[in-house]
Structure 1
Amino acid sequence: MPEGHSVHRIARQFDRNFVGRVVTASSPQGRFAGGAAVLTGRTPTRVRAVGKQMFLEFDSDVWLRVHLGIYGAWDFAGEILLDPTIASANGRMGQTGQRGTDAVFDDAGENSLASIGAPRRARGAVRMSEQTRGLDEDLEEWPPAVVGQVRLRLLTETMCADLRGPTACQLQTPDEMLATVASLGPDPLVDDPAAGEERFLAAARRKPTAIGQLLMDQKVVSGIGNVYRAEMLFRARLNPHTPGREVPEDVLRSLWRDWVVLLPIGVDTGQMMTMDGLDAESYRRAMASRDDRHWVYRRAGLPCRVCGTAIVLEEMAARKLYWCPRCQA
């Protein structure tokens, strides 16, 4: 499932490539035909990302809400104007078809550029999600042919965005959008960090639920998924089974402050980098391989990087949980 950093990256690409441009909308799959008919001919005016959800505003007070869920993805094609504020990433998190870029790929299809460059256009196709590889073939027709089950296609004169497999794709009024956002926990890139910290603290401290589940509850805190959950708990040396109301206040505050640090790193690099203090070569190696990027995630049975104890893999609320039974005892 895409975590918060990837949704913020997708929102930035919509901001650069669709806001202010009239769109033609369609639903090749047919499941969003009515919504597409409402959107066609309108102009996106603003985009918001909150946690794992994106909200795209159109003129005449119409909002498109998209929650990618586990299988959702946006495919972009056309004259893509890349965001200069983030390192572009090919494969599962970013851009393909670029020229003259120094990219670092890993065996899962993720990569991060060595530096953040100026805005540039790239002719090609792009997939932005957490689960799927990018497309780097050159386009031979415009608009590109529809491939597979496309819930929604947004098309401008130079850009095409295809939405596949989302958990939610719906139109909302401004009040409905605000109500949805209000139901979500704080997001460090949306909320004031100090106010967000107090909201997170208040929500977590009144719950008997295990902290490992609370970090994944989007009503408690927005954007954290399986990877960040495992890594943040290890960085805090916190047992994931500890009830939220039993976690010391200073530890809860440190969890929120760690999220404030980690989320922008993920947005800027396209990678869920959770290792600290790496030298230049170690950092590049970590960008190229998740085996060198994480403390415990996907390291079941391997020795803990700190104490040498075998990392445990178990299920918590039907999701995989990785943790060190000694460091996080």
Structure 2
Amino acid sequence: MPEGHTLHRLARLHHRRYAGHPVSVSSPQGRFAAQASAVDGRKLVRAEAYGKHLFHVYGPDAVVHVHLGLAGIFDEHKLPLAPPVGQVRMRVAGRTHWTDLRGPAACELLTADDVARIHARLGPDPLRKDADPDKVWHRISKSRVPIAALLMDQAVLAGVGNVYRAEILFRHRIPPMTPGRDLDAALFKDVWGDLVDLMKDGVKVGQINTVRPEHMPEVTGREPRQDRHGGEVYVYRRAEMPCHLCGTEVAKAELAGRNLYWCPTCQA
């Protein structure tokens, strides 16, 4: 599932390409046809993201909400248009580009009030200027739930997924099963600041890089990561491989239905 930086990156791209002008909106697949016709030809006011949710805002009465889920994907193209390939839920076409959406978990037409209700059930998003880390700390500091689960709870913290969860815990040497209430306030402040920086970098470069400069392959002489997602990481999807810092085999377990990765020595 795409993490928050991907949705913010898409929001910036769509805002740059389509906002301020009328756009054509259709549903070649047909499942979004009635809603698409309601905004077809209207001016896109803005595109924005909150956590793992993307919003195309046409006005207070019309906001297209997209959640990609596990299988959703946007394909971006330059004009001219081409015939749809596969099951295209929504097509947006502007003056210079067009975008196809396939396989989302949600693609729906909402009002501003509906969007506000989605925002209300989400925790602060580290990539938004209105994010309040004190709200996150209030939830974490009172919880017996493991910090590894809390970081993935979108009601606590919006936009953080499995990669950022595993990597931020490693970077700050936090055992993943530590109850939230046992976390130190100063440590949480460092974690929040680090998340903001890492996710902003993800928006900028389009991939997740969490390895510090002194631990990069060109410095240590190790082989670069070979993974379709790209980016250098410490523990994510590195189960049974040696830790970059201590050499201990990276551990893997399931927590709340998702794979969790950590170093048993560095995060003892």
- The answer to whether the superposition gives a TM-score over 0.5 is yes
State yes or no: 1:174 paired with 2:124.
no
Percent identity over paired residues = 44
Q: Deviations over 1:49-94 (max 9, x none)?
A: 1111111111463111111111111111115xxxxxxxxxxxxxxx
Question: Which residue of 291, 301, 308 maps to 2:247?
Answer: 308
User: How large is the Cα RMSD of the aligned pairs?
Assistant: 2.2
Quick one: distance in 1 between partners of 2:107 and 2:253? 32
Question: Which residue of 197, 212, 216 maps to 2:133?
Answer: 197
TM-score, length basis structure 2: 0.91
- Answer yes or no: is the 8 Å Cα contact 1:47–1:55 preserved in 2: yes
Quick one: distance in 2 between partners of 1:70 and 1:168? 11
Higher relative contact order at CA 8 Å, sep ≥6: structure 1 or structure 2? 1
Q: CA deviation at 1:15?
A: 0.8
Question: What residue ranges of structure 2 are gaps of 5+ in the alignment?
Answer: none
Matches within 5 A, 1:16-35: 16-35=16-35
State the match for 1:95 in structure 2: none
Provide closer, same or farther for how the CA distance between residues 287 and 11 of structure 1 changes in structure 2, counting only shifts above 3 A: farther
| Aligned amino acid, residue 70 of structure 2 | I
Quick one: distance in 2 between partners of 1:327 and 1:279? 14
State the match for 1:76 in structure 2: 76
- Answer yes or no: is the 8 Å Cα contact 2:217–2:224 preserved in 1: no
Q: Deviations over 1:266-303 (max 9, x none)?
A: 111112010112499839x9997558711111211111
Question: Which residue of 102, 109, 113 maps to 1:164?
Answer: 102
Secondary structure of residue in 1 paired with 2:45: strand
Matches within 5 A, 1:165-314: 165-192=103-130, 196-278=132-214, 282=218, 289=226, 293-314=232-253
State the match for 2:45 in structure 1: 45
Q: CA deviation at 1:179?
A: 1.9
Question: Which residue of 229, 236, 261 maps to 1:322?
Answer: 261
- Answer yes or no: is the 8 Å Cα contact 1:67–1:167 preserved in 2: yes
Quick one: distance in 2 between partners of 1:66 and 1:282? 39
Quick one: distance in 1 between partners of 2:57 and 2:223? 37
Secondary structure of residue in 2 paired with 1:151: strand
Question: What residue ranges of structure 1 are gaps of 5+ in the alignment?
Answer: 80-141
